[in-house]
Amino acid sequence: MLRTVQITQEKVIHFNGMPLMLLCDEATGSAIPVFIGTTEANAIVGELRDVNSPRPMTHDLFKEVLLGLGAMVTGLVVTKLDDEGIYHGLLAVERDGQELKFDCRPSDGIALALKFGSPVQVDEQVFIDSLSNPQTEQLMDLVDAAIQSINDQQ
């Protein structure tokens, strides 16, 4: 079973100097934290804010290449959380009525899915594995405290 997650700019935060994205289940409100690279965070937030860079960035280029080939991203599924705490994803691309799936980092897949207006989903087992991990629980407690501190200062 797949859970659709909502990606908003408020869900991409800097935590201890690293970008962190919260994948929030639309149905239950539960969230899993995913550390992402600065480039990917900038691409995701830029897309959410509808900001265009003066020159095409990597995700912009990839979108243009896909469109030029008559293809489009139809979605991303976060498929796995491995033993090292790394998330894995599958990017779905459609061309000429054929769906192709490509292994990708979820952050890259999310940036591309957003550029195409396509859904982002997380496998149910990934939510179970992440939410049952004590490190995730500790991290979410720290993130909640950091967000509360920011809100208190405003």
* CATH fold of 2-153: Bifunctional nuclease domain (3.10.690)
**Model confidence, pTM:** 0.88
Kindly list the domain boundaries of the chain, sorted by start residue. Answer: 2-153
Where on the phi/psi map is residue 13: left (φ > 0), alpha (ψ -120 to 50), or beta?
Answer: beta
Task: For residue range 80-107, list pLDDT tens digits in order.
Answer: 999 888 999 999 999 999 999 999 999 9
Confidence of residue 62 (pLDDT cuts 50, 70, 90): very high
For the chain, give the mean pLDDT: 90
Task: For residue range 118-141, list pLDDT tens digits in order.
Answer: 999 999 999 999 988 777 777 777
In terms of average pLDDT, the best of 42-46, 86-90, 148-152 is 86-90
- Tell me, what's the pLDDT at 154? 62
